[in-house]
Structure 1
């Protein structure tokens, strides 16, 4: 028998030196360790030496398990594990109290393999559970009061718990391509979620050329309408600021952490 026959793929070996060289500092000052698309099959133990990073990207690998030592990463704000082969998450993930973003999309997770400790992530704002094997959403996720984005698309869900529907800050709730008989096609993307449109002021230098052109055009149209409408009140002027709708802010987030939500 040939040596090594029958063994699974070993994957790429990550050394501490290699991992250190893959740390980047984001525009907001966060340190990000990017180990995505590295062909990793097992969680690299060496990166426990770098557990003070704020962002960890292990997406698009072949990981089957996340060890309980993930609890060492107490500074994590952002954790991306999408597109692996995970069939469970460790309960220790609930100790990452600073986490605001968690993406476990496109794995092999079932409802039973989601640890109850997920409800301890009190600061979590973005949770992506899409493209897994969920047949229900744990009602305990209703305790995540800071959630604004929740993705559960492409699962086997037949109902949505009321505790999740009533999350106070939920703005985007993607339930597409689930066998949910009580939802109409129009309701599929957002199930009775109340959207709040917010206005953000941004400087011209922060916009791309196409957005800048669009906003200038809208501003010029607005000025024309103002010139045609007599008014006795003096309006405030912001010469260096543009006022696009809230999609400007949302787009900035998508450009930075573009996930797999369709």
Structure 2
């Protein structure tokens, strides 16, 4: 290594307070949204802590690996989008964002141990997207999200769905597509759970970068072909499960 040069990854774009202030827009419903999406950011910009009174924060499509404990300062935050980054863990202070309604963590490097128990303290959370991560199991803390209405779990490594999470009182939309669930003949109980959530989608197209959206489309097409083949073989026993999400075909594009 040449003398005087330091080893390390890409520095990424530096976000100044001026850039951040100019990135604040007012939404249709009057909320202030700070959008720093797709800007080549590698570390959480400390300067935005001076703008912690915003209601919405978009840090998606960057290369951020860590969210600091200081995220707790965003007490007015109702909407947080960190999808398509390189997150491996969330801070415990995430649980202090009591006004948070929407949390998008799609397309990161998260697993069950990445989520702190404190995430279960988000008593007002309605929408949670954990799709396209590395979840093999779901942490029990998610059972504390009693107000959760929509849950995205697509493109993970799940082989089971905990009853406490599936039976959350207000959960009415769940996307479990493209997980390695056992075959129907191996686990009838699991298939019954999937039946109850088979018509549900969570991700809006605008919430995914082009490459992620294209990948989802291609994988879904492959899965549909496989399921159509399987349906002809097991139609008599699993007719209602031959094409998961079949009842949602009309609204499929709206959610994906």
Q: TM-score range by the shorter chain?
A: 0.7 to 0.9
Summarize the Cα distance change of 1:143–1:191 in structure 2 as closer, same or farther, 3 Å threshold.
Answer: farther
CA RMSD in angstroms, aligned pairs only: 2.5
Tell me by how many angstroms 1:167 deviates: 1.1
SS of the residue 1:157 aligns to: coil
Could you tell me how far apart the structure 2 residues matched to 1:183 and 1:44 are? 47
Which residue of the partner structure matches residue 43 of structure 2?
42
SS of the residue 1:20 aligns to: helix
Q: What are the equivalent positions in structure 2 for 1:1-262 lying under 5 Å apart?
A: 1=2, 3-4=4-5, 6-181=7-182, 191-193=195-197, 262=256
Could you tell me how far apart the structure 2 residues matched to 1:83 and 1:183 are? 32
Tell me by how many angstroms 1:139 deviates: 2.2
Deviations 1:146-183 (CA, angstroms, capped at 9, x unpaired):
11110011111111000011111111100111111266
Q: Is the 8 A contact 1:173 1:190 kept in 2?
A: no
Tell me by how many angstroms 1:192 deviates: 1.0
**TM-score using structure 2 length:** 0.72
Could you tell me how far apart the structure 2 residues matched to 1:189 and 1:21 are? 47
SS of the residue 2:75 aligns to: coil
Could you tell me how far apart the structure 1 residues matched to 2:131 and 2:184 are? 18
Unaligned runs of 5+ in 1: 196-246, 255-260
Structure of greater Rg: 1
Tell me by how many angstroms 1:100 deviates: 0.3
Tell me by how many angstroms 1:143 deviates: 1.6
Q: Is the 8 A contact 1:175 1:188 kept in 2?
A: no
Tell me by how many angstroms 1:5 deviates: 5.0
Which residue of the partner structure matches residue 198 of structure 1?
none
Which residue of the partner structure matches residue 235 of structure 2?
none
Deviations 1:32-80 (CA, angstroms, capped at 9, x unpaired):
0000001000000000000000000000000010000000000000000
Could you tell me how far apart the structure 2 residues matched to 1:189 and 1:49 are? 45
**TM-score using structure 1 length:** 0.71
Could you tell me how far apart the structure 2 residues matched to 1:33 and 1:183 are? 45
Tell me by how many angstroms 1:3 deviates: 4.2
Aligned residue-pair number: 200
Could you tell me how far apart the structure 2 residues matched to 1:183 and 1:55 are? 42
Tell me by how many angstroms 1:193 deviates: 4.2
Summarize the Cα distance change of 1:183–1:101 in structure 2 as closer, same or farther, 3 Å threshold.
Answer: farther
